[in-house]
Structure 1
Amino acid sequence: LSKVGIALRHQFERLRNIVDLDNAIDSLQQAVDLTPDEDPGKVAYLNSLGNCFLCRFDSLREVLDINNALAVQQQAVNLTLDKHPNKPVYLSNLGNSFQARFELLKKPIDINKAITLQRQAVDISSKGHATRAVFLNSLAHSLLRRFQQLRNPNDLNDLQQSIILQREAINLTPSGHTDRPMYFNSLGLSFRLLFEHSKQLTHLNEAISHQQYAVEHIPDKDAEKACYLSNLADSFAFRFICLQEHADIERAIHAYREAANNDLTSPSVRYAAALHWAAMSLHCGNTQLALEGYKVLLDEVPRRAWFGHKVTRRYEELSEMAGIVNAAAATAISLGELGLALEWIEAGQSIVWTQILQLQPPIDNLRTVAPALADELQTVAHALQNINQEIQESTSVEEAQTHRALAMRYQRALGQVHNLRGFEDFLKPKKLQRLVPASKNGPVVVINVHASHCDALILHSYNCTQPLIHIPLPELSYERAHELVTQMKLILKTHNFRSDRKMVLANEDVANKGEDTLQTILAHLWTWVVHPILLKLQSIIPVNVSNDYLPHITWCATGPLAFLPLHAAGIYDPGDSSNGVNMFDFVVSSYTPTLAALLNPPAESSKASVSNPQILIVSQVDTPGQQSLPGIKIEAETIKMFTAPGSTTHLNHENGLVSAVLEAMAQHKWVHLACHGVQSPQDPLESAFILHDGNLKLRNLMSTQLKHAELAFLSACQTATGHEDLPEEAIHLVAGMLATGFPSVVGTLWSIRDDDAPIVTKVFYSNLLGKGKYAERKDGIVQAAYALHEAIMALRQQIGIKEFTRWVPFVHFGL
């Protein structure tokens, strides 16, 4: 068993298949469990098992793995006599694991413990010990990391010790030894840190000299080569800053480029190298080379957010990469590569949702070419879909391993599909020509927000040869957009709008101040964003206030702008509303998290000319433990006024159970959910509709696919409120309903008044059902956006146009 485990670990190091490492750990764990403590071979098994846990931690960054490594390595140390020749090996390895945990948690106690253990290993190892140089290098590395953490300019002791130990390690290692490049790389890092303190160029030159040796002598097939290249590139970049010699920045870019294109290393290393490659290229004015770097960089984004990870881990990875897609798109736009910019923005939007939707692959065409492969893909996708709902932070090790194994199996199957003629782009991000149909029902305005410049890209179907129009937005900046979001958050916090569906009103003075601030925000959105876009749209569509049938546009914003109400932008004159100008007079607005969400064809059953759908109404007036919402009863009865007999199912009170609602959703075309909603910023997948017996969570919706869904109306608070750290991921309940199969969803940006919902509901359904103004479908699509537009207009007329906090939150997503 131990030999099998060790062999599997070596195989993982060659092929980087995490399943090999999972199996190695299983084999070694069995070997440990079957071996009594008095058996002299057990210590070696424990050490190997600990090293495998450490190796898996390096790949997955799961704290459980590093804690397991520490536990078994400590056991190995405890079972080994002080005079045993392998004692320093076990001490040093235990120290390495403490150092690794320090990198994750940044607790000084861990790095101090690592240094103590590694120093013991050095002290008890003989001068001629075969791996003494390894112990010296490990201790030197921990001392280096402690120096970096403390950054005390008056205490260079750790750094100076590190250099001494690294030199000794090199002297003990014969020329040609495989570990020698590693020691030179470490020594180079120490000298670069010494340069940062001393500012002496000789120290930086020595760092470069050592790092060049490491790069030149490490084999090309070694996974560490990319790290050494990146370290060398960092030093060249430092020297460029000092001397401003163009040759150094070229050397840095070359090294970063080589590291980024190294397929043997981890996605995080390639990502970091590509990021520096692009940034350095932009710094020296070579935008074309930066574009090349961004292409490599964006390929690594979904690999870092690998669908074999838990969903929460994927969101953590994406949060660390926030803004990268916008930077790449801004560069592409500056070079006139508008199609590429749009493709990149689309590929970088809602990555996790896209991964989940890919678990419903369209395999009919594939089955005609490769039926066995189609069956394999469908089987694995179905298994992944089922397990996705259960993978949470509390998931067992065995379940997580099963998830990773299925993900690798799915990846292999997908790779085989891509090798088939005609299937090279199967489930890959769509190119521009395949995205154009998203604008069939009206132009889609994609807005890229970046610190360098902000731009709108209008995707339209009016000219197939030039489907994109570029509109620079010079008055908008990332800082301005961020400031507007900050002001919005302050308003909502002050008024407690997000406490529940029934808005808690502040006193009148505070309320008026909030409305004034929101009015200012909407004015800025009009001036900085919307008005320039509408002016350009006039050249391709008739934007005329006298037109009874207003044009329809869909907003797809990025960055901070994704949290702002573009649909309500306007100048609302404080003295006379007739002097104002706002979006509602010119267009009907919708939103979409991705262009792909607009490409889903309507269900076959929705192509009838007159609407007569089966409607599920879920109403929770008195949810246990929640504030009573009496307006919901009126809301539910209002919908029934416009429906045909026998066409509605009403789940209220104790009938509104999570399981019953999920089951009923699969049997109805339209769903109206009137209840409390909750947004969870700590774990976005815990955001939920609050039902009678518990929460219908976003996590539950992720693995649900509805074949005949048409429309969902989410009459609850915060259903379209995303996560501020992940603006491009659309982590909200509306996006969840879109992903489950509803092409059209109505939601809310913040809490709504309990007495406003029935007004909106009445006008909305009266326009869509029976002989309503928008009962006729347009190209098979329910005209929900137009019905909501009418409903909000009616609410504004009743409560006053200046009551922004009451009518602005209602929004439409999708078709």
Structure 2
Amino acid sequence: MLQCRYQRTGEMADLEEAIEMARQAVKSTPYDHPDRASYLGNLGNDLWHRYKQTGEMADLEEASLYFYNTWHCQIAIPFSRVKAAARCLTLPVAQAKMDTAIQLGQDVIDLLLAVNTKLLDRSDQQFVMSIFAGVATNVCSFLLASNRPTNALEYLEKGRAVIIGQLVDARSDFSSLEQQYPDIARRYMYLRDEVNTPVNRLEQDIGQAQVIGRRREAVAELDACIREIRGIAGNERFLLGTIVVVNITGLRSDAILVSQAAIKALNLPRLLASDALKNREYLEYLTWLWDVCVKPILDEVRSTNDGANGLPRIWWIGAGLGSSMPFHAAGVHSPGSTENVFSRTISSYTPSIKALGYAQHRSRATGTHVRLASDPTMPTTPSQGLQSDARKPPDLPGVVEEKKRIANVMNTYMSIEPLDLPNQGEGQEAEQDRLTVHRISELSLPHAYIAYLSACSTAENNSTKLSDEVIHVVSGFQVAGFPHAVGCLWPSFDRVCADVASKFYQSLQGAIRWDGRAVAYAVREAVLAAREAEMEMPLAWAQFVHFGA
């Protein structure tokens, strides 16, 4: 509480007293008590705050030591240990010791997967993951600096998009394990829950010494159980991740190129984190992104041309500061220019390699012949209880025009089910519902194929602390079962949405098979048409993206 007051008022006397109280708490707590981890973490935080005020290196060194000691409290709940280690990895003194930082980072991500977030509601899951923000991207940078690209990719995959990964696991890998090996699956879940239960909840019926002894046993048994699961044929990558990944941190920037033949790292020395944060006019920004990042990458993959129109296909994964970058639109956008991504590749995005594998599995299971299209439209946005008309979102007349144009294209080859102003209630008086990521991702739609989301910011993650969790409406539809989802990275223009949507369906209609390449190609063609009309205004057309197989 003293630390909280210091953060409100800036009174150093409060911080000094907080440090003294934390030292007494650590000194008074036995080494083998689980609560010692939280007291060590508090002391580390207090010293870190004092270092930020005074610049005293002794405080920074001591804070790093206490965070490291918190990590080594093996009988503490995993959340406390990982939280302290995540903070430790951000400190300059830890980063200066490369080998130590790599080992700590790998151990943190391995333990992160034992932190039980599946029993938490979504908001609490997001809080937990925000605490660990940046761990995976930093570890990736450490490993790339040590010339270990395969390990870098593995740990980046394991430490990013964890919430989506858990949702996907629940519908694929782990559900399969439960069906084939129910005993070991039950044992894993029981042990995972046990090591995540605070000790004070267990002390009522049995003595503290017994509780502490049992906690040590449970941690060891959980580690052994995970190793056993990984040894089962077909589950070698259980809780592991195994394709252009762009990782941008304060340490360095790199691309990891994943193909059937190899995993290759490409350092991007001109892609500086400080430059990525600068404000630029958007055409200038896309040119900068092309020069320092995307052009070197495409030059590297030029030899892997895979067919149609001579254009290779690339899935983009942004990590760290790269998580919100429009790689698909990078380039010089002027009449006749071919120095841009649209001229050289067909782009898609995916939250993670695991999510892409899930989307491709869903695509194969669903097939490529779509028989029915639902066309939900909302030309007016509910005010959500706002009393003032001035604050009410504007009407969207382009939605009505878009609906007509899509119907004209699609009616000739499939049935369309129109849904105007959709909601989950009954009758005409039902209040319209908000379309949330949580609600979408709870669905299971085995026959779904394409979700075209013609709305603002459907592929945008507004939370900086959750940038690597890739939580947005598009990823929610992918978890629900759609192998393909089209969305927008930022607010869109009503008129342009109608143009891009109709062009997308026209292009798709001409495809022989609606496979992943055809869907991604249709998005590209639709965006190119909008770009041709308003090339000098990329904010009108560059936001449309394809996620999926």
Structure 2 residue corresponding to 1:658, chosen from 410, 424, 427: 424
Q: Give the C-alpha shift of residue 258 in structure 1.
A: 4.6
In the alignment, which residue of structure 2 is the partner of 1:570?
331
CA distance in 2 between counterparts of 1:191 and 1:697 reads 43
In the alignment, which residue of structure 2 is the partner of 1:453?
252
Q: Is 1:701 the equivalent of 2:440?
A: yes
Structure 1 residue corresponding to 2:367, chosen from 607, 610, 613: 607
Q: 1:277 to 1:695 in 2, by over 3 A?
A: closer
Q: 1:624 to 1:368 in 2, by over 3 A?
A: closer
Q: Is 1:712 the equivalent of 2:451?
A: yes
CA distance in 2 between counterparts of 1:692 and 1:224 reads 48
Structure number with higher relative contact order (C-alpha < 8 Å, ≥ 6 residues apart) = 2
CA distance in 1 between counterparts of 2:377 and 2:179 reads 43
CA contact (8 A) 1:275 1:293 kept: no
In the alignment, which residue of structure 2 is the partner of 1:750?
490
What secondary structure sits across from 1:745 in the alignment?
Answer: strand
CA distance in 2 between counterparts of 1:310 and 1:191 reads 34
Q: Give the C-alpha shift of residue 736 in structure 1.
A: 0.9
In the alignment, which residue of structure 2 is the partner of 1:588?
346
CA contact (8 A) 1:278 1:294 kept: yes
Deviations 1:762-812 (A, max 9, x none): 32212222xx1x33245xx46211011111122223x23223122112111
CA contact (8 A) 1:743 1:814 kept: yes
Deviations 1:116-175 (A, max 9, x none): xxxxxxxxxxxxxxxxxxxxxxxxxxxxxx7x976656x79x97xx7xxxxxxxxxxxxx
In the alignment, which residue of structure 1 is the partner of 2:305?
542
CA distance in 2 between counterparts of 1:359 and 1:318 reads 18
Q: 1:236 to 1:642 in 2, by over 3 A?
A: closer
Deviations 1:718-772 (A, max 9, x none): 1111124121122211111111111111111223333323322232212222xx1
Q: 1:229 to 1:745 in 2, by over 3 A?
A: closer
CA contact (8 A) 1:756 1:795 kept: yes
CA distance in 1 between counterparts of 2:11 and 2:491 reads 49
In the alignment, which residue of structure 2 is the partner of 1:34?
none
In the alignment, which residue of structure 1 is the partner of 2:386?
none
What secondary structure sits across from 1:793 in the alignment?
Answer: helix
Task: Give the alignment of 1:347-362 within 5 angstroms.
Answer: 347-362=158-173
CA contact (8 A) 2:315 2:348 kept: yes
**Which amino acid is 2:139 matched to?**
A
Q: 1:638 to 1:415 in 2, by over 3 A?
A: farther
Structure 2 residue corresponding to 1:468, chosen from 244, 249, 263: 263
Q: 1:260 to 1:614 in 2, by over 3 A?
A: same
Deviations 1:391-436 (A, max 9, x none): xxxxxxxxxxxxxxxxxxxx9x9999747564495884324xxx3x
Give the fraction of aligned pairs with identical amino acids, expressed as a percent. Answer: 22
Structure 2 residue corresponding to 1:789, chosen from 504, 518, 524: 524
CA distance in 2 between counterparts of 1:807 and 1:243 reads 49
Structure 2 residue corresponding to 1:632, chosen from 399, 404, 417: 399
CA distance in 2 between counterparts of 1:570 and 1:318 reads 34
CA contact (8 A) 1:640 1:648 kept: no
Q: 1:812 to 1:448 in 2, by over 3 A?
A: same
Q: Give the C-alpha shift of residue 374 in structure 1.
A: 7.0
In the alignment, which residue of structure 2 is the partner of 1:800?
534
CA contact (8 A) 1:373 1:417 kept: no
Q: 1:796 to 1:242 in 2, by over 3 A?
A: closer
In the alignment, which residue of structure 2 is the partner of 1:523?
287
Q: Is 1:328 the equivalent of 2:143?
A: no
In the alignment, which residue of structure 2 is the partner of 1:319?
130
Q: Is 1:478 the equivalent of 2:245?
A: no
CA contact (8 A) 2:149 2:265 kept: yes
What secondary structure sits across from 1:316 in the alignment?
Answer: helix
**Which amino acid is 1:429 matched to?**
L
RMSD over aligned CA atoms reads: 4.3
CA distance in 1 between counterparts of 2:395 and 2:436 reads 21
Which ranges in structure 2 are unaligned for 5 or more consecutive residues?
A: 194-218, 384-392
CA distance in 1 between counterparts of 2:187 and 2:72 reads 34
CA contact (8 A) 1:568 1:808 kept: yes
Structure 1 residue corresponding to 2:313, chosen from 526, 540, 552: 552
Task: Give the alignment of 1:102-117 within 5 angstroms.
Answer: 106=4
CA contact (8 A) 1:619 1:632 kept: yes
**Which amino acid is 1:190 matched to?**
E
What secondary structure sits across from 1:628 in the alignment?
Answer: coil
CA distance in 2 between counterparts of 1:234 and 1:620 reads 48
CA distance in 2 between counterparts of 1:617 and 1:236 reads 57
CA distance in 1 between counterparts of 2:463 and 2:47 reads 36
In the alignment, which residue of structure 2 is the partner of 1:775?
512
Which ranges in structure 1 are unaligned for 5 or more consecutive residues?
A: 1-98, 109-145, 163-185, 193-206, 382-410, 436-443, 488-516, 661-690
**Which amino acid is 2:471 matched to?**
I
Q: Give the C-alpha shift of residue 645 in structure 1.
A: 5.9
CA distance in 2 between counterparts of 1:338 and 1:521 reads 28
What secondary structure sits across from 1:557 in the alignment?
Answer: strand
CA contact (8 A) 1:552 1:589 kept: yes
Q: 1:553 to 1:243 in 2, by over 3 A?
A: closer
Q: 1:724 to 1:294 in 2, by over 3 A?
A: same
What secondary structure sits across from 1:572 in the alignment?
Answer: coil
In the alignment, which residue of structure 2 is the partner of 1:270?
81
Structure 2 residue corresponding to 1:766, chosen from 488, 506, 522: 506
Q: Give the C-alpha shift of residue 555 in structure 1.
A: 0.8
What secondary structure sits across from 1:570 in the alignment?
Answer: coil
Q: 1:731 to 1:317 in 2, by over 3 A?
A: same
Q: Given the two structures, how large is their TM-score scaled by the length of structure 1?
A: 0.54
Q: Is 1:370 the equivalent of 2:169?
A: no
Deviations 1:94-129 (A, max 9, x none): xxxxx5xx66xx3x5xxxxxxxxxxxxxxxxxxxxx
**Which amino acid is 2:305 matched to?**
P
CA contact (8 A) 2:409 2:506 kept: yes
CA contact (8 A) 1:590 1:811 kept: yes
In the alignment, which residue of structure 1 is the partner of 2:99?
288
Deviations 1:611-655 (A, max 9, x none): 44321111233456554333323322333334366832323335x
CA contact (8 A) 2:82 2:132 kept: no
Q: Is 1:532 the equivalent of 2:269?
A: no
Q: 1:568 to 1:342 in 2, by over 3 A?
A: same
CA contact (8 A) 1:304 1:317 kept: no
Q: Give the C-alpha shift of residue 532 in structure 1.
A: 1.1
**Which amino acid is 2:543 matched to?**
P
CA contact (8 A) 2:458 2:489 kept: yes
CA contact (8 A) 1:554 1:589 kept: yes
Q: Given the two structures, how large is their TM-score scaled by the length of structure 2?
A: 0.77
Structure 2 residue corresponding to 1:429, chosen from 236, 239, 248: 239
Q: Give the C-alpha shift of residue 377 in structure 1.
A: 7.6
Q: 1:594 to 1:236 in 2, by over 3 A?
A: closer
**Which amino acid is 1:262 matched to?**
C
In the alignment, which residue of structure 1 is the partner of 2:207?
none
What secondary structure sits across from 1:475 in the alignment?
Answer: coil
Q: Give the C-alpha shift of residue 225 in structure 1.
A: 4.1
Query: Bigger radius of gyration, 1 or 2?
Result: 1
In the alignment, which residue of structure 2 is the partner of 1:128?
none
Deviations 1:55-88 (A, max 9, x none): xxxxxxxxxxxxxxxxxxxxxxxxxxxxxxxxxx
Q: Give the C-alpha shift of residue 564 in structure 1.
A: 2.4
In the alignment, which residue of structure 1 is the partner of 2:20?
190
CA distance in 2 between counterparts of 1:375 and 1:305 reads 14
